[in-house]
Amino acid sequence: MSKVWMITGAGRGMGLDFAKAVLASGDKLVATGRNPERVAEAIGQSENLLVVTLDITKPADADSALKAALKRFGRIDVLVNNAASFYAGYFEELTPEQMDLQLTSGLIGPMSVTRAVLPVMRSQGSGKIVSISSTASLVGFEFCSAYAASKFALDGWMESLQREVAPFGIETMIVNPGFFRTELLTDDSTQYAPSSIGDYDERRAQHFAFWKSANGQQPGDPAKLAQALIALVNLPELPRRFIAGADAVGMIEQKLALVQQQIDAHRQLSSSLTFEA
């Protein structure tokens, strides 16, 4: 039986590759985005496709999108929390408003969409929730403090959510991609902190140059990630986490080795903190 997918941010970047792969597999798709006309134009026509408006920063949009999806297809089997934004810059220079926007798009938005979908999945007794996170949810990067904060929080929420919803037959998976050749680093998707503190000038210029030059040169192929996502969702059991890309594997292995090194270095002190009756 074909699955019904719901993908946020399906009109561009990685979400568009996901959408095309789902339809090519023969499954049904609820493709969402802030501009439904743009989403429909990007994906093309299909009898298995429903395009609906969904700005993940507006909880009411999630509720109305879900109602439209159920009216058309009757169920939701797979939710992919894909839509996000990127606010880059040093923490001291990022405005409170930019930090709020990053957390809203990267954490609160996926929460709102998931909150809308969970009652349906509970009533079905099944469902899969996939959240597209980042290597920056496991490894902190200079100039990415806002983005990393939203992604670290996303991972913690998803890990905890799995324990809460597993008794209802609902599974979750965190996807931690490395650098993939999407539109995330374009001027339409990346917002930078205002340059306001002279002490950061030299390093800021270096990071500006890096991020600008990285756009269009990322090693990961989002079309291949889309195929991997289809394969993982079709497994008998959904993995709890998928590290996507050789660069991501390398960085996270380094992080795990460092954590283990720090555990070993202070194991005796850590183990001496038991309350003595």
Q: Look at residue 229 in the predicted model and tell me its pLDDT.
A: 97
pLDDT over 60 at 185, yes or no: no
> Exactly one of 87, 90, 147, 192 is catalytic; which is it?
147
> Exactly one of 3, 20, 28, 151 is catalytic; which is it?
151
Catalytic, 200? Answer no
Catalytic, 189? Answer no
Cα torsion 256, 211, 83, 228: sign: negative
Task: Name all domains of the chain by residue range, CATH numbers in brackets.
Answer: 4-270 (3.40.50.720)
Helix (H, G, I), strand (E, B), or coil: what is residue 108?
A: helix
Catalytic, 151? Answer yes
CA distances to 9, 51, 166 from 34, rounded to whole Å, are: 8, 11, 31
pLDDT in tens, 26-83: 999 999 999 999 999 999 999 999 999 999 999 999 999 999 999 999 999 999 999 9
Q: Look at residue 188 in the predicted model and tell me its pLDDT.
A: 63
Whole-model pTM?
0.93
Residue 44: exposure state from Cβ atoms within 10 A (0-12, 13-18, ≥19):
exposed
Cα torsion 2, 82, 171, 255: sign: positive
Residue with the larger pLDDT of the pair 209 and 97: 97
| Cα–Cα distance measured from residue 212 to residue 205, given in angstroms and rounded to the nearest whole number | 11
Phi-psi region of 69 (alpha: psi -120 to 50; beta: other; left: phi over 0): alpha
In 10 A of CB 259, how many CB atoms?
11
> Exactly one of 85, 133, 134, 150 is catalytic; which is it?
133
pLDDT in tens, 106-132: 999 999 999 999 999 999 999 999 999
Residue at 13: amino acid letter: G
Q: Look at residue 220 in the predicted model and tell me its pLDDT.
A: 76
Per-residue tokens: 142: 């200079």
Average pLDDT over residues 173-202: 81
Q: Look at residue 31 in the predicted model and tell me its pLDDT.
A: 98
